[in-house]
Amino acid sequence: MNNDEKHISSYQSLTVVLVILLFLTAISVLITGFHLGALTVAVALLIASVKVFIVLTQFMHLKFENRFLRLAVTGVFALFAVVTIITFIDYYFR
Amino acid sequence: MTDNHTHTEHLDSETGKLGMWIFLFTELFLFGGLFLVYAIFRAKYSADFHLAAEELNAFIGTINTVFLLVSSMTAAMALTAIQKGDKRLTIFLLLVTILLAALFMVNKYFEWSHKFEYGIWPGSPVLKNMSHGELLFFGLYYMMTGLHALHVLIGMILLSINVVKVKTGAVNSGRFLMLENSALYWHLVDLIWIFLFPLLYLIT
């Protein structure tokens, strides 16, 4: 409710967002070509996470949404992270 | 006409959008569960997964990533266009989005038929003779990309309905919740692919 009116994203800013996303895609494709071993997975997932964050905030307008929705989305991703951690703890220490 | 309804309309669209987001949360966990299964089996059968992932065409994967990223931008632009009241541009951008989605599916068709040529399809004799880990990889590959492709198809249908609604004026600059929610759905399709692509195609 703190938002006064609907935010309208400009065509230019959306284009810039796309260029950044394509750039990150190129980096992740190039980096995995180097075969950095276990680090490859970490780097690829890190870049994917950055891309997802950009899509959520820019394309999906979360940056301009009310606090409740932003909190809800953050909470869902945090919940998934917790589920992942618990699953892996179960797998490694069973 | 909408003057005395402005307030309720606004509340309506806020609630409608919240509902869409809650639906998207369930979608995230649908795919999230599959990601987890993939992650665990990858840890368990890393050598087999490495071998199997080499089979995938990273080039096709990259092209499809570009298609989806661009289509996500055109979907976001369509929302901007309808908010600015530019009906023609909205329809054009929606059609571009649908076209890119179709190109994604065409790529997927070639990718899958190439696998089929090698006798790799769910339950195929070739697959049954593979190691347990490779079997799991291809099972998950078909399940995850298949479920994702189904979402692409549903997204195409949703966007097509929007084209008609914008044309008839049912979706307009004062009332565009359906377009907004469809765009959100389309961004989710993009979002899931952003994770699927490195997991399946890049990390070998």
* Interface size between A and B, measured as CB pairs under 8 A: 97
Q: What is the pTM of this model?
A: 0.92
Q: Which residues of A touch B187 (CB under 8 A)?
A: 55-56, 59-60
Q: Which residue from B17, B11, B3, B5 is spatially nearest to B177, judged by alpha carbons?
A: B17
pLDDT for residue A1 is more than 70:
no
Residue of B194, B196, B197, B203 best to disrupt the A interface, most CBs of A under 10 A:
B194
Quick: pLDDT tens for A57-73: 999 999 999 999 999 99
pLDDT at A41: 84
pLDDT for residue A3 is more than 50:
no
Quick: pLDDT tens for B77-127: 999 999 999 999 999 999 999 999 999 999 999 999 999 999 998 888 988
Give the residue numbers spanning the domain of B22.
3-202
Q: Measure A57 CA to nearest chain B CA, in Å.
A: 11
What CATH number does the domain containing B55 carry? 1.20.120.80
Contacts 24+ apart (CB under 8 A), B131-136: B131/B45, B131/B48, B131/B51, B132/B45, B132/B48, B133/B41, B133/B44, B133/B45, B133/B47, B133/B48, B133/B49, B133/B51, B133/B52, B134/B48, B134/B49, B134/B51, B134/B52, B136/B41, B136/B45, B136/B48, B136/B49
Q: Measure B202 CA to nearest chain A CA, in Å.
A: 6
pLDDT at A4: 44
Residue B175 β-bridge partners: B172
pLDDT at A37: 72
Quick: pLDDT tens for A19-75: 999 999 999 999 887 777 778 888 889 999 999 999 999 999 999 999 999 999 999
Name the residue ranges covered by the structural domains of chain A: 8-60, 66-94
pLDDT at B11: 58
CA dihedral A18→A38→A75→A21, nearest 10 degrees, is 0
Quick: pLDDT tens for B49-77: 988 988 888 899 999 999 999 999 999 99
Reported ipTM: the value is: 0.91
Q: Which residues of A touch B40 (CB under 8 A)?
A: 87-88, 91
- Judged by a CB distance cut-off of 8 A, whether residue B39 touches chain A is yes
CB-count burial class (<10 Å; 0-12, 13-18, 19+) for A75: exposed
pLDDT at B12: 75
Amino acid at residue number B134: E
Q: Which of B36, B198, B204 has the CB atom closest to A28's CB atom?
A: B198
